[in-house]
Amino acid sequence: METVQQSEKIIAERYRILGKLGQGGVGITYAAVDLNSNQKVALKALSLRLTTEWKKVELFEREAKTLSGLNHPGIPRYIDYFQVDTSQDRCFYIAQQLAPGKSLAQLIENGWKPNEAQVRHIASKVLEIIVYLQSLLPPTIHRDIKPQNIIMQKNGRVFLVDFGAVQNTYHHTVTGGSTVVGTYGYMAPEQFRGKAVLSTDLYGLGTTLLFLLTQKFPSDLPRQKQKIKFRDRVSISTELADWLENIIEPAIEDRFHSAKDALSALRGEQPSAINPDKMFKRSPQSRITLIDAKRWLFIHIHPDRFPSKLKGFFQFIHRSYKFLLPFSLILGFFYSPLTLIAVPPNSRVSLFKYTVADWLDKFFQLFVFISIQAVIIFTVFYALMCLCWIASCLFTRSIQISPQDIQRVKLSGIHLPLLKKSISFCRIRAKSRNYCFGLFLPQADKEWLVKELSACLSKLK
């Protein structure tokens, strides 16, 4: 599209053109002065004569209508929408507050190399704007987030501009809009199909941040299964890299659902947006919970439920009592310190000289001793079971690991020569360390976990 207006020209007897700011898919934007207030404004113009598609006029009018209803400090204030007719043309204009500062694209072009803290700041501020847009009724989708449309002042204040590709979800639902709008390299895959959802703007933000970090256009970065591979080209924390991995996922269902979720994760308020229906998996015996949150894998091994087995323990003691009783009698006869049967030291015949009262007294002593034996045995069994449960808890653990860090998953074994058997356990080899766990898990749980983790690795390759 050609330049519509020249510098110093006055439009609608109110706006004096100062110079051209930029040109997008829908219209040209000028810096101008509002003669009524003497304030600088951004004046976006669209020439009907130079427009080859009527769809651009529709997008221009939609942008004006959208801007008139927005009120956020990160979005330049809407001033006016009007048209000017001449003998040769009809021009449409949108007047907005001029966002002071330079676009991220200009800053990079001038040699700016932002650090991680600055990138996080920009991401947080843009996400706050997107959260506002998504809170509207109906939610508004920008659809063209890129370095040229993000303005930053020296004090760090951030503006989001150029709503020429804006879409609200109601319009999309009613018309089933199929127009492809956006900028190649920053467009989410669904935009090529004429589709836009809440997470579409997140993809544009993610690719913009990659441009800041790598100083390269996203389209020039290597890809694997449509996903941009960037980790070996940036020097940032693992947390931020994992967050970026999520926000640029090609599949909609793998991205953060909304800007609010992405902002919470960026601030460390939640690990990720997890869909319980898809992300939570349990082993056959429900001893293991595996949460596949894309950026992280969470493995939690639960202990055996000791309270639920308490009833079975008492039943075991009850059924075993008839076997323990003879054993207690023998011990009581030979080893009781209470002398179960008072036999005179020189004669066993005197055994029959006891009265009935003496026999009752000895029987009572026998009963007391057997009871003490039973209590001791019961206590020993109870203590052993408690110790076993405590040991089980000691081997209970939660593991959090990034799927990208996993190199190998397998079942390993420990050979016990005295018992002539081997016990297996799970081993995860990661880049930084090895994880060994699950020694006392059922074999089915171990095999299930290794299979699930191996499947996760195969998806990444």
Task: Give 180-230 pLDDT, tens digit per residue.
Answer: 566 788 988 888 888 888 899 999 999 999 999 999 999 899 988 788 999
Q: Is 458 helix (H, G, I), strand (E, B) or coil?
A: helix
> What average pLDDT score do residues 338-362 get?
50
Tell me the pLDDT of the chain averaged across its residues: 76
Model confidence at 403: pLDDT above 80 = no
CB 205 within 8 A of CB 256: no
The pLDDT value given to residue 120: 96
The pLDDT value given to residue 290: 74
- The DSSP annotation for 116-144 comes to HHHHHHHHHHHHHHHHHHHTSSS-EE---
The pLDDT value given to residue 7: 65
Return the half-sphere exposure (C-beta side, CA atoms, 13 A cut-off) of residue 167. 25
Using a pLDDT cut of 90, give the percent of the chain over it.
28
> What average pLDDT score do residues 434-450 get?
81
393's CB contacts (< 8 A; 6+ apart) are 303
Among residues 336, 368, 394, the one where a domain terminates is: 394
Least confident interval from 139-143, 169-173, 265-269, 386-390: 169-173
> What average pLDDT score do residues 352-378 get?
62
Same domain, 32 and 50: yes
- The residue among 134 and 458 whose pLDDT is bigger is 134
Same domain, 159 and 205: yes
> What average pLDDT score do residues 149-157 get?
93
Model confidence at 339: pLDDT above 60 = no
Here the CATH number for the domain that contains residue 405 is 2.30.29
Nearest partner of 457 among 412, 401, 407, 386, judged by Cα: 407
| Domain ranges, residue 375 | 306-394
Here the CATH number for the domain that contains residue 1 is 3.30.200.20
pLDDT in tens, 74-122: 999 999 999 998 888 899 999 999 988 999 999 999 999 999 999 999 9
- Residue 186, both tokens: 């920053």
Model confidence at 372: pLDDT above 70 = no
The pLDDT value given to residue 282: 65
436's CB contacts (< 8 A; 6+ apart) are 412, 425, 426, 427
The pLDDT value given to residue 309: 47
Model confidence at 314: pLDDT above 70 = no
pLDDT in tens, 115-141: 999 999 999 999 999 999 999 888 888
Q: At what angle do helices 116-134 and 200-214 cross, to 10 degrees?
A: 160
Same domain, 107 and 205: yes
The pLDDT value given to residue 206: 95
Band the pLDDT of 393: cuts 50, 70, 90: very low
Same domain, 385 and 429: no
Q: What angle do CA 121, 255, 186 make, to 5 degrees?
A: 65
Same domain, 14 and 114: no
Model confidence at 386: pLDDT above 90 = no
Same domain, 368 and 427: no
Same domain, 32 and 65: yes
Model confidence at 243: pLDDT above 80 = yes
Distance separating the N- and C-terminal Cα atoms of the chain: 44
The pLDDT value given to residue 112: 94
Band the pLDDT of 433: cuts 50, 70, 90: confident
178's CB contacts (< 8 A; 6+ apart) are 193, 194
The pLDDT value given to residue 52: 73
Active-site residue, from 144, 201, 261, 445: 144
The pLDDT value given to residue 396: 47
Same domain, 139 and 265: yes
Model confidence at 411: pLDDT above 70 = yes
Model confidence at 155: pLDDT above 60 = yes
Among residues 73, 98, 123, the one where a domain terminates is: 98
The pLDDT value given to residue 276: 43
Same domain, 219 and 294: no
Q: What are the helix and strand counts (H, E) for the chain?
A: 11, 20
- Residue 287, both tokens: 């001893």
326's CB contacts (< 8 A; 6+ apart) are none
Model confidence at 40: pLDDT above 80 = yes
Nearest partner of 29 among 154, 148, 159, 187, judged by Cα: 148
141's CB contacts (< 8 A; 6+ apart) are 133, 166, 167, 168, 169, 172, 196, 197, 198, 200, 201
Model confidence at 278: pLDDT above 50 = no
Among residues 45, 80, 98, the one where a domain terminates is: 98
CA distance 28 to 50: 11
- The residue among 355 and 11 whose pLDDT is bigger is 11
CA distance 369 to 357: 19
CA distance 56 to 432: 53
The pLDDT value given to residue 214: 94
> Would residue 162 show up in a list of annotated catalytic residues for this protein?
no
The pLDDT value given to residue 33: 93
Q: Please give the helix or strand (H or E) that residue 182 lies within, else none.
A: none
> How many separate domains does the chain show?
4
The pLDDT value given to residue 225: 77
The pLDDT value given to residue 41: 93
Same domain, 17 and 67: yes
Q: Residue written as tokens 């060994």?
A: 436
Same domain, 248 and 267: yes
> Which range among 26-30, 123-127, 419-423, 427-431 has the greatest average pLDDT?
123-127
Same domain, 13 and 83: yes
Least confident interval from 150-154, 201-205, 352-356: 352-356
Model confidence at 232: pLDDT above 80 = yes
